[in-house]
Amino acid sequence: MAVNIYDVAKLSGVSIATVSRVVNGSTKVSEKTRRKVLDVMEQCGYTPNVFARGLGLDSMKTIGILCPDISDAFIAQAVAFLEERLHQYEYDCILGCSGYDLEAKETHTKMLLSKRIDALILVSSTYAGRERHPEDVEYIKEAAKQTPVFLINGFVEGKNIYCSFCDDFKATYDVTSGFIRRGKKKILFLCDSYSYSASKKMAGYEAALRDAGYPIRGELKFYTKNRIHHVRDMLLSHKNLEFDSVVATDDGLAIGALKYANVKGLKVPDDIEIAGYNNSQLSVGCEPELTSVDNHLEKMCNDTVDYMLRVLQGDTDVPPQNEVVCEIKKRCTTDF
Amino acid sequence: MAVNIYDVAKLSGVSIATVSRVVNGSTKVSEKTRRKVLDVMEQCGYTPNVFARGLGLDSMKTIGILCPDISDAFIAQAVAFLEERLHQYEYDCILGCSGYDLEAKETHTKMLLSKRIDALILVSSTYAGRERHPEDVEYIKEAAKQTPVFLINGFVEGKNIYCSFCDDFKATYDVTSGFIRRGKKKILFLCDSYSYSASKKMAGYEAALRDAGYPIRGELKFYTKNRIHHVRDMLLSHKNLEFDSVVATDDGLAIGALKYANVKGLKVPDDIEIAGYNNSQLSVGCEPELTSVDNHLEKMCNDTVDYMLRVLQGDTDVPPQNEVVCEIKKRCTTDF
DNA sequence: GTGAAAGCGCTAACAA
DNA sequence: TTGTTAGCGCTTTCAC
């Protein structure tokens, strides 16, 4: 069996209290004793038992990260940023992938909480639930009673809940307004969920139309699965559908529209202009490369970790909301 | 503070041992007592303290997953498969992202081990180290003394180490042979690492050339960073380089070559044929869509979890190596 | 500056 | 079927 604190104490000729002090960097240890203990620890490769320590401190320096699907490029990128930062501060990450259904979100959250995580980070606006459906986020408020909860790219109001999100409304408003300015008349809106962020994007799209005196036409708003070929085929199947530009809430959807344009023989951006979202490799892997909204995910993630550290240190002045600005990466437009 | 086993025992009018039995589903409890205890637990929202349990059992049902970079599509997909399966068996995942440098791999591994994980899963062939550099994998063998180690898409020989990988040699051999059969003369090889799997891919490429009586030309083998524009620019910068087909070890590299072809005005696949690897969304998002090797990642992951469960149950007959066959997804070739 | 000892909440061996 | 009790390895208070 592994060597424990008693072994080290015995070999060093001190008590376990002193060993504990050395391990935890207490100043109340003479330099000589500290050296001796450190030596012994080195010698026998002592590693403190995290379970025992957890029992005493009620913490294992572990953060729960819950996401719907880690194979999603945007989410994976977020988790990468989070893990890097958390690791710097010696926190470990327990990762859960819940999918998009409420029940699974709830059970995953429970499972993470049962591990006595120090904080819970929810990645993706899907956790913000649907508008006017408070029951969608009940489990989050419940979780927040036990541990601070941090939401990335979403907003839930509540005690001990902290949210970082980006200005999706403005980004989509700007993209849509750009289309209008360039003379586009029939602007398609493509989205793949009814999440908090999708709502903001749609609101931005509609506001731009409204401000330009355009009608908001329901048949130009599509909800569809985020799979390239699926989007293409869905668009092709609507024979009478006409549009001269596309505002997509994800690059995958935009690529689907691009595929549609290819099949129809439409030139991008002259015949049809397409904008994506999330600024992923996909928007750069196609031809022509697509304009895409960069929502500064890294900043959202870093801010979140910073806030988390402050909350865990007892700081009571941490802002419950944090908005990051988006940036439109222009790659393909008729504008000059 | 939270309610503990003593509270439940008191409220139920039984001993903590009985409560423990109920919690752990022991059969040696009368139906009446069990009901009573369950009721009380429900009533006061009792959750066993995992740290205390961990201390006693020396396990928290937690699996360490280490990967170089979760924002890599292939790796993220692997982690998604792993997490799903592990969650089914009520294991939690601690995720670490180590990057590609040896030292960081070592410290990350140590950190995971210090959490007393039940098993360690290494995702990516980068952990298999370089050929003829046993020091690259010393820390893995060391880790395997403490906990079973599972490697995905790589191979390391050693006690308590179990590896799943795919037949990269054959896949690349077949892709290359296809090019040769279709009359390609100058086949470029593009890779982004010196990993175990990259070696196998290069070996397959070279074997195909050799078997066809072609020379193996060093100037046709490129090691480059896996960024689309970087690959394109790198290829463009080699003014005198000539090639009529590309074998890439990742879709990102293949897309880079595709961008190069676009700039040069070369038609794909007629003027130049390009094959990618990993069958990602990238290979489908471009135009034309690229042929790509599907290495059946899901099977590798599922097999790994199955083996892990068996090892943890004390099964001594678990195969130390597991090879999965690859499949070439033909999307773009002059072949008929 | 150091040590003794009381928990932390649970599991499991042993008694009853 | 149920209860008693001795750990599991560490942190921390209180003496010295």
CA distance B162 to B159: 8
Are B71 and B37 members of one domain?
Answer: no
Closest CA–CA distance from residue A44 to any residue of chain B (Å): 15
Q: Is residue A332 part of a domain?
A: no
CATH number (domain holding residue A69): 3.40.50.2300
> In the structure encoding, which two tokens stand for residue B259, read together?
């961008």
Find the mean pLDDT for residues A19-45.
Answer: 91
* Residues B287 and B179 grouped into a single domain: yes
Q: Is residue A194 part of a domain?
A: yes
Distance (Å) from the alpha carbon of A215 to chain B's nearest alpha carbon: 32
Kindly tell me if the per-residue pLDDT of A43 is higher than 70: yes
Residue B27's pLDDT is 73
Average pLDDT of chain A is: 95
In three state form, how does the secondary structure of chain A look? CCCCHHHHHHHHCCCHHHHHHHHCCCCCCCHHHHHHHHHHHHHHCCCCCHHHHHHHHCCCCEEEEEECCCCCHHHHHHHHHHHHHHHHCCCEEEEEECCCCHHHHHHHHHHHHHCCCCEEEEECHHHHCCCCCHHHHHHHHHHHHHCCEEEECCCCCCCCEEEEEECHHHHHHHHHHHHHHCCCCCEEEEECCCCHHHHHHHHHHHHHHHHCCCCCCHHHEEECCCCHHHHHHHHHHCCCCCCCEEEECCHHHHHHHHHHHHHHCCCCCCCCEEEEECCCCHHHHCCCCCEEEECCHHHHHHHHHHHHHHHHCCCCCCCCEEEECCEEECCCCCCC
Who among B69, B229, B262 is closest to A80 (CB)? B69
Dihedral sign of CA atoms A186, A192, A193, A199 in order: negative
The pLDDT value recorded for residue B333 is 85
Give the CA-to-C1' distance from A138 to C10 in angstroms. 31
**Boundary-marking domain end, from A33, A54, A75:** A54
- Give the full edge-to-edge strand order of the sheet including A291-294: A221-223, A187-191, A245-248, A273-277, A291-294, A327-329
Q: Is B14 near strand D, with its CB below 7 A from some atom of it?
A: yes
CB-closest option in B48, B65, B92 to A111: B92
Q: Is pLDDT at A334 greater than 80 in this prediction?
A: no
Q: Are strands A327-329 and A291-294 parallel, antiparallel or unpaired?
A: antiparallel
Tell me, what CATH number does B19's domain have? 1.10.260.40
Number of Cβ within 10 Å of residue B86's Cβ equals: 23
Distance D16 C1' – B145 CA (angstroms):
44
pLDDT given at position A27:
75
List chain B residues with CB under 8 Å of A268. none
Question: Closest Cα partner for A61 from A70, A79, A48, A80?
Answer: A48
Whether pLDDT at B302 is above 70: yes
**Domain-located, residue A153:** yes
Q: Are residues A162 and A306 in the same domain?
A: yes
B57 touches strand D (CB under 7 A): no
Asked whether residue B4 carries a pLDDT value surpassing 80, the answer given is yes
Q: State the pLDDT confidence band at B1, using cuts at 50, 70 and 90.
A: low
Chain A contact present for B69, CB below 8 A: yes
Same-domain status, B255 and B281:
yes
Task: Please indicate, yes or no, whether residues A46 and A69 belong to a single structural domain of this protein.
Answer: no
At residue B231, the pLDDT reads 97
- Residue B48: inside a domain, yes or no? yes
Residues of A with Cβ-Cβ distance to B256 under 8 angstroms: none
The answer to whether residues A222 and A274 belong to one domain is: yes
Mean pLDDT of B97-117: 96
Residues 145-174 of B with CB under 8 A from A: none
Q: How far is A187 from chain B (nearest CA, A)?
A: 22
Residue A281 lies in a domain: yes
Taking the CA of residue B12 and the C1' sugar atom of nucleotide C6, their distance in angstroms comes to 27
Which of B4, B62, B92 is the best substitution to test chain A (most A C-beta atoms within 10 A)?
B92
Q: Do both B285 and B175 map to the same domain? A: yes
B266 touches chain A (CB under 8 A): no
> Would you say residue B336 has pLDDT above 60?
no
For the record, the structure tokens of A167 come out as 């200005």
Which pLDDT tens digit goes with each residue over A14-24?
999 999 999 99
Query: Which three-class secondary structure state does DSSP give residue B117?
Result: coil
Range of the domain at A78: 62-166+296-324
> A300: Cβ under 7 Å from strand D?
no
Beta-carbon separation of A281 and B286 below 8 A: no
CA distance B170 to B166: 9
List pLDDT tens digits, range B308-322. Answer: 999 999 999 999 999
Task: Locate B22 and state its tokens.
Answer: 């109920």
pTM of the model: 0.95
Specify the DSSP element, H or E, that contains B269: none
Cβ B94–A92 below 8 Å, yes or no?
yes
Cβ atoms of B185 and B155 closer than 8 Å: no
In angstroms, rounded to a whole number, what is the distance separating the alpha carbons of residues B21 and A334? 71
Taking an 8 Å cut-off on Cβ atoms, the answer to whether A94 and B93 are in contact is yes
- Is A101 in contact with A169 (CB distance < 8 Å)? no
Regarding whether B222 and B300 lie in a shared domain, the answer is no
Q: Are residues B193 and B291 in the same domain?
A: yes
A336: in domain: no
Is residue B331 one of the residues assigned to a domain? no
Measure B313 CA to D5 C1' (Å). Answer: 30
Gap from B29 CA to D2 C1', in Å?
A: 8
Q: What is the pLDDT of residues A94-146, one digit of tens each?
A: 999 999 999 999 999 999 999 999 999 999 999 999 888 999 999 999 999 99
Same-domain status, B228 and B289: yes
User: Rounded to an integer, what distance in angstroms lies between the CA atom of residue B298 and that of residue A266?
Assistant: 37
Residue with tokens 């391990």: A23
Residue B29 has pLDDT above 90, yes or no: no
Average pLDDT over residues B207-220: 96
On whether both A223 and A267 belong to a single domain, the answer is: yes
Average pLDDT over residues A87-94: 96
Counting every residue written for chain A, the total comes to 336
Distance A287 CA to D8 C1' (A): 62
A245 beta partners = A187, A273
The region of weakest confidence among A26-35, A224-233, B34-43 is A26-35
B330 lies in some domain: no
Q: Which of A48, A71, A286 sits opposite B285 (nearest CB)?
A: A286
- B interface test, pick of A86, A120, A287, A301 with most B CB neighbours within 10 Å: A287
Q: With H, G, I as helix, E, B as strand and everything else as coil, classify residue B65.
A: strand
Cβ–Cβ under 8 Å, residues B276 and B282: yes
Which uninterrupted H or E stretch holds B93?
A: strand B92-97
Given CB atoms, is B96 within the 8 Å cutoff of chain A? yes
Which pLDDT belongs to residue A181? 95
**How does strand A92-97 pair with strand B92-97?**
antiparallel
A241 touches chain B (CB under 8 A): no
> CA torsion angle for B277, B282, B285, B286 (degrees, to 10)?
-70
* Maximal C-alpha separation, chain A: 87
Please report the pLDDT score of residue A131 as a whole number. Answer: 85
Beta-carbon separation of B71 and A76 below 8 A = yes
**So what's the pLDDT on residue A250?**
97
Contacts of residue B41, defined as CB under 8 A and 6 or more positions apart, other chains included, come to: B8, B19, B22, B23
- Judged by a CB distance cut-off of 8 A, whether residue A262 touches chain B is yes
Within 7 Å: CB of A89 and strand D? no
Q: Percent of chain B, pLDDT > 90? A: 92
From A258, A281, A287, residue closest to B252, measured CB to CB = A281
Structurally, chain B folds into a number of domains equal to 3
Report chain C positions within 7 A of protein CB atoms.
1-5, 7-13
Scan for tokens 């937690």, then name that residue: B62
Please report, for residues A266, A280, B158, B306, B309, the alpha-carbon distance to residue B150 in angstroms, rounded to integers and kept in the order given. 49, 31, 11, 11, 11
Residue B293 to residue B325: CA distance in whole angstroms: 10
Pairing mode of beta strands B291-294, B327-329 = antiparallel
Distance of alpha carbon A39 from its chain centroid, rounded?
Answer: 44
Q: Which pLDDT score is estimated for B325?
A: 96
CB neighbours of residue A139 within 10 Å: 20
The residues near B113 (Cβ < 8 Å, ≥ 6 apart) are A47, B64, B120, B143, B146, B147
CA-CA distance, B172 to B179, in Å (whole number)? 11
Confidence of residue A336 (pLDDT cuts 50, 70, 90): low
Q: Same structural domain for residues B115 and B222?
A: no
